Amino acid sequence: MAQVLEFKLPDLGEGLTEAEIVRWLVEVGDVVAVDQPVVEVETAKAMVEVPCPYGGVVTARFGAEGTELPVGAPLLTVAVGETADARPSGGADTARTGGAGAGASGREPAAEGSGNVLVGYGTSQAPARRRRVRSAAPAVNGRPRTPEPVRETRPADGPVPVISPLVRRLARQNGLDLRELTGSGPDGLILRADVEHALVLRSTTDRDRADAATGPTAQATAVPSAAPAASPGRAASVTRVPLKGIRGAVADKLSRSRTEIPDATCWVDADATELMRTRAAMNAAGGPKISVLALLARICTAALARFPELNASVDTGAREIVRYADVHLGFAAQTERGLVVPVVRDAHTRDAESLTAEFARLTEAARAGTLTPAELTGGTFTLNNYGVFGVDGSTPIINHPEAAMLGVGRIVPKPWVHEGELAVRQVVQLSFTFDHRVCDGGTAGGFLRYVADCVEQPAVLLRTL
């Protein structure tokens, strides 16, 4: 007899509580090996292929593409051990018991453990106990099959089957009583899709009532100057875009930064002519081309070595400033999916060539949506080159929980007094935003002045190389 094991969405790290199914990589009836990727999901940080810790035959998939599942919700079930020659029939998302018609098929059970460390699974051998398999998967897109939310009687003080705090917050912000819903997830778990569906139905019901109230009889007695906002046509012109995925993560992180961090910004214009000449000389010497971003990153790491107070964060719970010996440099990268901040590990140990190569690799991965959570977290300082957007200056928001960020505008020809004479030089505006809890203005000003000096006279770096 085959064992049917249930594989649940694992904890993907960094406090992520849910993920959206982007693409299934297996079908019901497929044979999967231990650690084979079975589904591609999108978290608030990246696209991730999730490997299955079991080997066997897929008997059920839970959730259609586009469905958002909380951590701990079932992803699929796998029949491990001797299985029937005939693969499960029916829809792709219909669960089957793995022992039905268990003829010998010669498939080997996955006795070895998974090599991938998944939170909640580990790397040990698959558990020997059986799991109950449900007769049917949730409805398509995680919504109830009935046209209206299914209402049931729950005790006034009883628990509500909700895992995700985002689902609770969404319901609370819209005045929706979760006790009036029956979830479409496993064991009646209420998903975000259930709440959104209920809100749409409520909005439709309210609009229908408004339409009925503005019928021929009501219109005859209505005041001529009635507000046109009640018009269904006017309401239809409003579009609501859910704050989820990367956009939601960015919104939450920036809001937290503005709420928790007492930031201040200072800026200075710098003559980058010599920096650009230095880069041109490096590239003319042969070998890999050096990017401007890599030179600015090298300047940042040298400045942080002189002002280590800024390579830090604040532990509000312990009321302590945490200073880091290593510089893990984040840089802002704009992609089709939104703004992400990949992190260059140990940037202080890299030269300009190594930094250029790593920036290029992480930027390509960001655009392809293949950055891992580890490549998006753990930064200690951020470099933001918003000059690529054709702007001169900005007051960047600190990437929480870091303590500082350097912003770089575009480098453009401008009139500049050079050696006592007016000349056209390559000028850049540098802005520096810092957490005022970790240092005073003198430290921040000293950091920015050193960066500007290195931009104007790159030979200054030779003192620390």
Query: Which residues participate in catalysis according to the annotation?
Result: 436, 440
Which residues partner with 269 through β-bridges? 429
Outline where 307-351 has alpha helix (H): none
Quick check: helix, strand or coil at residue 16? coil
* Length in residues, the chain: 465
3-class DSSP state of 188: helix
Q: How far apart are CA 176 and CA 31, in angstroms?
A: 43
Which two three-digit tokens encode residue 196? 């959104």
Burial-class residue 371 by CB neighbours within 10 Å (0-12, 13-18, 19+). Answer: buried
Distance CA 26, CA 287 (A): 44
d(Cα 308, Cα 324) in Å, to the nearest integer?
8
CA dihedral 212, 213, 214, 220 (to 10 degrees): 120
With contact defined as beta carbons under 8 Å apart, do 242 and 66 qualify? no
- Structure token digits, residue 286: 């042969």
Instruction: Specify the amino acid at residue 49.
Output: E
Confirm if 80 and 5 have CB atoms less than 8 A apart.
yes
* 336: CB partners within 8 A, 6+ apart: 367
Give CA–CA dist 312/301, Å, rounded: 13
Q: 104: how many CB neighbours lie within 10 A of its CB?
A: 9
- Cα–Cα distance measured from residue 78 to residue 57, given in angstroms and rounded to the nearest whole number: 5
**SS3 of 211, please?**
helix
> Whole-angstrom Cα distance, residue 347 to residue 326?
8
d(CA 124, CA 122): 6
Neighbours of 389 (CB within 10 A): 10
At residue 417's C-alpha, the angle toward residues 413 and 420, to 5°, is: 145
Task: With CA atoms as reference, report the closest residue to 436 among 256, 262, 258.
Answer: 262
What whole-number distance in Å separates Cα of residue 407 and Cα of residue 265?
10
Quick one: which H or E segment has residue 294? helix 292-306
**Please, are residues 52 and 73 in contact by the beta-carbon 8 Å criterion?**
no
